[in-house]
Amino acid sequence: MNLIVQKFGGTSVANVERIRNVAQIITDTYERGNDVIAVVSAQGDTTDDLIKKAAEITSKPSSREMDVLLSTGEQISMSLLAMAIEELGYPVISLSGWQAGFLTEATHGNARIKKINTERLQNELDKKNIVIVAGFQGINRYDDITTLGRGGSDTSAVAIAAALKADKCEIYTDVDGVYTTDPRIVPNAHKLDEITYDEMLELATCGANVLHNRSVEMAKKYSVKLEVRSSINSDVPGTEVKEVCKVEKMLIKGVAMDNDVARISVLEVPNQPGIAFKLFSALAAEKVNVDIILQSVGRNGTKDISFTVSTAHKQQALKVSEEFKEIVGAKEIVFKDNVSKVSIVGAGMLSNPGVAAKMFEALGESNINISMISTSEIKISVLIDQDQAKRAVNVIHDAFAL
Ligand code: ADP
Ligand code: ASP
Ligand code: MG
């Protein structure tokens, strides 16, 4: 008897026909003698629509009430899916996040899972029920509903798979698997049979929203067997995400694009020790996550410091930078939010020199200017103008013959 955790994203449960299709996938898995827990997202654009509804009432909703509101999207899906499974004549029960035992940090909007009390889930499995769980949500120590951040249902699924030591976690979505880049941007992107946790984590963190990055982090930590596959072409094998892949010649595995970026530059900062610490500790104190950092060499006693943040943090980052400018006597703040980060990822670059040069050559030949660069062991990211980002992804994808 195997335990399979399956997760179905928003498009996969968007309407009656799609819900019936998902009910069939789940009951087929159950018929094959498996225990099944299915995690669902809100239908279609429901989460975005709920955010719009809140904005019609207030420009400053409390984060607690936003979580109460957003958690309802997943609860609609879970009950409709359970009804579709009842219709097919199978024993099923739906559980919201707290009923399924999800305990999270106190923070609203982007809470991390602390623990899953698996008792209820296990009881339902023991009763031979198919269990449907609302993704993206839990409860904190004050018994308040929390959500896990956009795309967080993937993490709910992997967390259940880890907590119950499931034999497999299948993420069903609207593409056939993980591609060399977003197939909606590059039509000739191709599907990967497998990818390492590390590569997938970098791609997801760099904007490939096919998996929530925390779900990949958790899958790696608890060695969860993960597969991304299509709920529409459900008999086509997807992409396995695992610790090691077959040795292959590919220099890089994929290209990702992230438009959720803003750049701030503080110009002519006094060139003294401790200056960078002052700025970045003030940003950290405001819980602003900084991504790429670039500092120029000092000239005439001053230097420039530039950094990027997600657009959600831009107001706080600007406020901190203005205060810093006044305190240290810097000259000017330059802000830009129509920028994108384009990244290449692949373990192949560890042992192959010239990967960065090849990326920069492709951009240079297409007249795309790079304003910042950052690298890690298996990733190179560049910051460019947003209106050139899709073209950049295409030319880089071509250059590496992916
Ligand atoms: P779900 O609602 O199922 O969670 P998402 O919209 O969150 O689905 O994620 C699937 C989408 O991710 C795809 O439709 C695709 O446009 C996008 N995507 C971005 N990068 C990739 C990639 N490298 N491979 C596959 N899909 C990708
Ligand atoms: N419904 C949530 C979102 O749209 C969570 C998810 O789909 O994973 O972000
Ligand atoms: Mg998603």
pLDDT of residue 246: 82
Q: Is the CB of 206 under 6 A from ligand 1?
A: no
The ligand 1 atom nearest the CA atom of 254: 23
Which ligand lies nearest to the CA atom of residue 255 in the structure? 1
Mean pLDDT of the chain: 96
Backbone φ and ψ for 180, nearest 5 degrees, come out as: -65, -25
Locate 4 and state its tokens. 């399979």
Which ligand lies nearest to the CA atom of residue 12 in the structure? 1
Is the confidence at residue 128, as pLDDT, over 80? yes
pLDDT of residue 287: 87
pLDDT of residue 257: 98
pTM: 0.94
Q: Is the CB of 209 under 6 A from ligand 1?
A: yes
* 3-class secondary structure per residue, the chain: CCEEEEEECCHHHCCHHHHHHHHHHHHHHHHCCCEEEEEECCCCCHHHHHHHHHHHHCCCCCHHHHHHHHHHHHHHHHHHHHHHHHHCCCCEEEECCCCCCEEECCCCCCCCEEEECCHHHHHHHHCCCEEEEECCEEECCCCCEEECCCCCHHHHHHHHHHHCCCCEEEEEECCCCCECCCCCCCCCCCECCEEEHHHHHHHHHCCCCCCCHHHHHHHHHCCCCEEEEECCCCCCCCEEEECCCCCCCCCCCEEEEEEEEEEEEEEEEECCCCHHHHHHHHHHHCCCCEEEEEECCCECCEEEEEEEECHHHHHHHHHHHHHHHHHHCCCEEEEEEEEEEEEEECHHHHCCCCHHHHHHHHHHHCCCCCCEEEEECCEEEEEEEHHHHHHHHHHHHHHCCC
Q: Is the CB of 254 under 6 A from ligand 2?
A: no
**Gap from CA of 267 to ligand 1 centroid (Å):** 38
pLDDT of residue 250: 77
**Gap from CA of 165 to ligand 1 centroid (Å):** 26
The residue whose CA has the least distance to atom 5 of ligand 2 is 151
Is the confidence at residue 401, as pLDDT, over 90? no
pLDDT of residue 1: 82
Give 332-390 pLDDT, tens digit per residue.
999 999 999 999 999 888 888 899 999 999 999 999 999 999 999 999 999 999 999 99
Which ligand lies nearest to the CA atom of residue 151 in the structure? 2
Is the confidence at residue 63, as pLDDT, over 90? yes
The pLDDT-based confidence of 402 (bands split at 50, 70, 90) is: confident
Is the confidence at residue 162, as pLDDT, over 90? yes
**Mean pLDDT (whole number) for 213-232:** 97
Please return the burial class of 219, using the count of CB atoms within 10 Å of its CB with bins 0-12, 13-18 and 19+.
buried
Backbone φ and ψ for 293, nearest 5 degrees, come out as: -125, 135
Which ligand lies nearest to the CA atom of residue 11 in the structure? 1
**Gap from CA of 208 to ligand 1 centroid (Å):** 7
**Mean pLDDT (whole number) for 230-234:** 94
**Mean pLDDT (whole number) for 5-10:** 98
Is the confidence at residue 11, as pLDDT, over 80? yes
**Gap from CA of 152 to ligand 3 centroid (Å):** 7
Is the confidence at residue 165, as pLDDT, over 80? yes
Phi-psi region of 122 (alpha: psi -120 to 50; beta: other; left: phi over 0): alpha
Q: Is the CB of 151 under 6 A from ligand 1?
A: yes
**Gap from CA of 111 to ligand 1 centroid (Å):** 22
The pLDDT-based confidence of 223 (bands split at 50, 70, 90) is: very high
Locate 244 and state its tokens. 């090691």
Q: Is the CB of 156 under 6 A from ligand 2?
A: no
Give 300-341 pLDDT, tens digit per residue.
999 999 999 999 899 999 999 999 999 999 999 999 999 999
Is the confidence at residue 247, as pLDDT, over 80? no
Q: Is the CB of 10 under 6 A from ligand 2?
A: yes
**Gap from CA of 269 to ligand 3 centroid (Å):** 41
Give 273-286 pLDDT, tens digit per residue.
999 999 999 999 99
8 A C-beta contact, residue 330 and residue 267: yes
Phi-psi region of 242 (alpha: psi -120 to 50; beta: other; left: phi over 0): beta
**Gap from CA of 272 to ligand 2 centroid (Å):** 45
Is the confidence at residue 251, as pLDDT, over 90? no
Q: Is the CB of 44 under 6 A from ligand 1?
A: no
**Gap from CA of 88 to ligand 3 centroid (Å):** 27
Which ligand lies nearest to the CA atom of residue 74 in the structure? 2
Percent pLDDT > 70 in the chain is 99
The residue whose CA has the least distance to atom 9 of ligand 2 is 150
Give 29-50 pLDDT, tens digit per residue.
999 999 999 999 999 999 999 9
**Gap from CA of 10 to ligand 2 centroid (Å):** 7
Q: Is the CB of 47 under 6 A from ligand 2?
A: yes
